[in-house]
């Protein structure tokens, strides 16, 4: 079938994209390569379509399908989407991706190359022709245009031939192979899709489960994305597959996605509603009682399916303070010890089994933690980690918010300080890094967890890079008890840079004691009955201004994700835990990571590491990640390798 006819069939609704297909992921280099091959009359492969009845077809987008039957693209989406965008000048109705990948493609009449518009190179040059414009007006009109340019007349015959060759791309025949028959169910077709895409992007278990659900309930994907968008606006970034796992846990009591096969649409939507209500309650409980109120400090995301199931089984209610405290005790320990960092599904199944019977459920959950860990008591060495990515970083933030730490400048408790621009909590290096480097400290030592504390933004500005021996003494006199409330040793000899390592050792001991005391108070149910702060989902979105890393680092990470999103690419995962696949132990915490690549399944894993020690960089290398240590170098990679020359 001719390319032009295929594109017309998309407009007529005779050809579409199945719901289980992922969005458009090609970059500009791949688009250029396709056009070059077609221009040179090189083979670009055939298409594979699923011929199915229109009334049972589950296609992406909101376009109207042709009556009778429809052809759903199984193999060839990226090629056809690119051609549609270039030839029609707009994305197809099923489009989900970045249109910049095929927008503003130009052709050089002299060199016969395709490139994307670059002002300095192409502006005012008659040799560069807008490909989409030629495709829309036809080669005849385009030829008239070049005849009107005297400087092109010397090679006019060659230029005419080249314009005709480019326009004739629309008439190239692509072989289409049909998959048809009553036996071709969505399960069979998804299996075929995965086989033919063995060199590209396969569907994950979650994609497959969602495909089956969407086959019977086309609005399921949109309903799930609406929930994810709601939580994102509140400062929490969750993945579609994570949400699907929560629905699975609530509706089936199982972790494996295969158990969703028998879930009917009504049951799925009811489960999704229950998940939304449960996750809302969990986020509010964790934020109001523990102070973990934004994405950067939210640990143990895969405990949420278990927590949601626990709530639903009990009518959505926590009976009393003791039950809530014990539940939170379990939750905190799941992220301290990486409960779900190994074989996630099997561990979730263990925990789901443990809560099936109401009586003693929390005791069984805690016993499973002790079974793997032995002793849940924290030791000072547990705070040996460095960087804001350590598992114990959320614990330090939690202690600051919930264990009565006070602001040094005002003496006010920090539990409610996240509602104004100048009162947002920021991480503060007690010993300034510049001072430590000057005294020979390593990056790992300077970024030791025990060198961090949290202050309001205005207090952090007041302290700035002053020496701890100066400002600690000043604030200790101004607001007695404020310095001690941050578990800082009061031996002033330890505030000197030459005694920095001894300071760290002493503070780790104080932190371990404070953490154990707090966790034991949770376990005993003796924590404060009143919430520490307004629940996070009840706060106006505009007031959520939180900074969870050093100011410079956090700014870089925010800028990076904002820029990536602007390019139409997926945002990276903040505080991504790199785990040894065999032991399940955390190898490193990456500031910002794309474990499946910026084009999932098509590009290698990528990470942005800010001020990390050499051992983290080595671990990332061993895991097959390409990493960058500056925003500039990362953006250069994205433009060069992913966007293939896109300009800001």
Please compute the mean of the pLDDT values over residues 289-301 and round it to a whole number.
84
* β-bridge mates for residue 455, sequence order: 426
Residue 346 phi, psi (nearest 5): -65, -35
By C-alpha distance, which of 264, 286, 272 is closest to 227?
272
Query: Which pLDDT value is given to residue 644?
Result: 60
Band (421; pLDDT cuts 50, 70, 90): very low
pLDDT reported for residue 390:
60
**Per-residue pLDDT tens digits for 296-349:** 788 889 999 999 999 999 998 888 889 999 999 999 999 888 888 766 889 999
* 2 phi/psi in degrees, rounded to 5: -65, 145
Alpha-carbon distance of 228 to 466, in angstroms, equals 42
Q: Tell which phi-psi region holds residue 175, choosing left (phi > 0), alpha (psi between -120 and 50) or beta.
A: beta
In this prediction, residue 602 has a pLDDT band, given cuts at 50, 70 and 90, of low
Q: What is the pLDDT of residue 618?
A: 84
Q: pLDDT band for position 592 (50/70/90)?
A: confident
Residues of the chain with pLDDT > 90: what percent? 43
Strands 573-579 and 606-608: unpaired
pLDDT, one tens digit per residue, over 234-248 is 888 888 889 999 999
> Which pLDDT value is given to residue 617?
85
| Over residues 398-421, mean pLDDT | 78
167, 199 contact by CB (below 8 A): no
For residue 648, what pLDDT is reported? 38
Of 553 and 570, the one with more pLDDT = 570
Contact residues for 401 (Cβ-Cβ < 8 A; gap 6+): 290, 291, 292, 293, 414, 415, 425, 532, 533
Per residue in 627-645, pLDDT (tens digit) is: 999 899 999 988 887 776 4
- The residue among 306, 255, 251 whose CA lies nearest residue 274 is 251
**125-137: pLDDT as tens digits:** 899 999 999 999 9
Residue 361 has pLDDT above 90, yes or no: yes
Q: What is the pLDDT of residue 351?
A: 96
pTM: 0.71
* pLDDT above 60 (res 187): yes
Query: For residue 604, which of 642, 631, 635 has the smallest C-alpha distance?
Result: 642
Q: Tens digits of per-residue pLDDT, 150-162?
A: 888 989 999 999 9
pLDDT of 204-236, one tens digit each? 666 667 777 776 777 888 899 999 999 988 888
> Can you say whether the dihedral through the CA atoms of 271, 273, 274, 276 is positive or negative?
positive
Q: Mean per-residue pLDDT for 6-33? A: 87
The pLDDT of residue 375 is above 70: yes
Stronger pLDDT, 603 or 100, i.e. the higher one: 100
CB 606 within 8 Å of CB 625: yes
pLDDT of residue 547: 36
463 or 27, greater pLDDT: 463
**Per-residue pLDDT at 601 exceeds 70:** no
How far is the first Cα of the chain from the last one, in angstroms, to the nearest whole number? 38
- What confidence category does residue 444 fall into, taking pLDDT thresholds of 50, 70 and 90? confident
pLDDT band at 90 (very low <50, low <70, confident <90, very high): very high
The pLDDT of residue 372: 77
Write down the pLDDT at residue 387.
60
Q: What is the model's pLDDT at position 338?
A: 84
**646 falls in which pLDDT band (50, 70, 90)?**
very low
Confidence of residue 188 (pLDDT cuts 50, 70, 90): confident
| pLDDT tens, position by position, 520-566 | 999 998 755 555 556 667 655 433 333 334 446 667 888 898 898 88
d(CA 32, CA 112): 12
Return mean pLDDT, the chain. Answer: 84
Average pLDDT over residues 595-604: 75
pLDDT 10s digits, 456-504: 888 988 998 899 999 999 999 999 999 999 999 999 999 999 999 999 9
């Amino acid at each position: 079938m001719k390319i032009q006819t295929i594109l017309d069939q998309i407009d007529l609704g005779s050809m579409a994209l199945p719901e289980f297909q992922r969005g458009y992921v090609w970059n500009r280099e791949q688009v250029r390569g396709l056009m070059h091959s077609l221009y040179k009359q090189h083979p670009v492969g055939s298409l594979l379509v699923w011929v199915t009845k229109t009334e049972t077809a589950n296609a992406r987008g909101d376009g109207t399908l042709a009556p009778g039957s429809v052809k759903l693209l199984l193999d060839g989406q990226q090629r056809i989407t690119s051609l549609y965008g270039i030839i029609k000048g707009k994305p197809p109705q099923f489009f989900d991706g970045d249109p910049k990948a095929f927008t503003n493609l130009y052709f050089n009449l002299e060199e016969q190359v395709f490139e994307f518009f670059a002002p300095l190179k192409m502006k005012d040059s008659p040799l560069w022709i807008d490909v989409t414009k030629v495709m829309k007006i036809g080669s005849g009109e385009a030829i008239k245009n070049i005849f009107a340019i005297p400087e092109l007349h010397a090679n006019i015959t060659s230029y005419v031939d080249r314009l005709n060759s480019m326009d004739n791309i629309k008439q190239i025949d692509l072989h289409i192979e049909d998959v048809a028959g009553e036996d071709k169910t969505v399960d069979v077709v998804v299996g075929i899709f995965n086989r033919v895409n063995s060199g590209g992007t396969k569907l994950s278990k979650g994609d497959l489960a969602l495909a089956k659900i969407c086959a019977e309930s086309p609005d399921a994907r949109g309903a799930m994305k609406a929930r994810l968008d709601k939580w994102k606006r509140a400062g929490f970034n969750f993945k579609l597959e994570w949400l699907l796992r929560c629905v699975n846990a609530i509706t089936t009591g199982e972790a494996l996605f295969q158990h969703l096969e028998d879930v009917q649409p009504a049951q799925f939507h009811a489960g999704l509603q229950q998940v939304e209500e449960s996750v809302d309650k969990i986020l509010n409980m964790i934020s109001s009682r523990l102070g973990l109120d934004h994405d950067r400090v939210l640990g143990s995301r895969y405990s949420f399916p278990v927590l949601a199931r626990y709530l639903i089984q009990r009518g959505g209610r926590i009976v009393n303070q003791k039950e809530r405290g014990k539940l939170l005790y379990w939750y905190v320990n799941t992220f301290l010890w990486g409960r779900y960092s190994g074989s996630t599904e099997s561990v979730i199944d263990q925990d789901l089994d443990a809560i099936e019977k109401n009586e003693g459920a929390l005791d069984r959950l805690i016993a499973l933690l002790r079974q793997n860990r032995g002793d849940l008591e924290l030791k000072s060495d547990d705070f040996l980690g460095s960087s804001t990515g350590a598992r114990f970083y959320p614990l330090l933030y939690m202690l600051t918010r919930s264990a009565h730490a006070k602001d040094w400048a005002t003496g006010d408790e920090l539990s409610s300080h996240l509602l104004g621009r100048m009162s947002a909590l920021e991480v503060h290096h007690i010993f300034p890094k510049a001072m430590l480097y000057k005294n020979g400290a390593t990056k790992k030592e300077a970024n030791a967890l025990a060198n961090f504390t949290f202050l309001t933004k205005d207090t952090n500005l007041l302290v700035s890079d002053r020496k701890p021996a100066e400002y600690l003494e000043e604030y200790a006199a101004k607001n007695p008890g404020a310095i001690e409330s941050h578990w800082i040793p009061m031996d002033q000899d330890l505030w000197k840079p030459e005694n920095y390592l001894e300071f760290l050792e002493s503070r780790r001991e104080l932190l371990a004691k404070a953490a154990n005391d707090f966790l034991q108070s949770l376990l005993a149910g003796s924590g404060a009955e009143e919430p520490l702060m307004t629940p996070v989902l009840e706060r106006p979105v505009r007031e959520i201004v939180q900074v969870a890393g050093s100011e410079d680092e956090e700014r870089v990470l925010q800028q990076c994700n904002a820029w990536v999103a602007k390019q139409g690419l997926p945002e990276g995962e903040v505080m991504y835990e790199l785990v040894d696949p065999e032991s399940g132990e955390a190898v490193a915490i990456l500031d910002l990571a794309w474990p499946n690549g910026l084009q999932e399944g098509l590009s290698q894993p990528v990470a942005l590491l800010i001020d990390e020690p050499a051992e983290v960089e080595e671990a990332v290398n061993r895991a097959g990640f390409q990493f960058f240590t500056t925003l500039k170098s990362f953006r250069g990679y994205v433009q060069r390798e992913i966007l293939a020359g896109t300009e800001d």
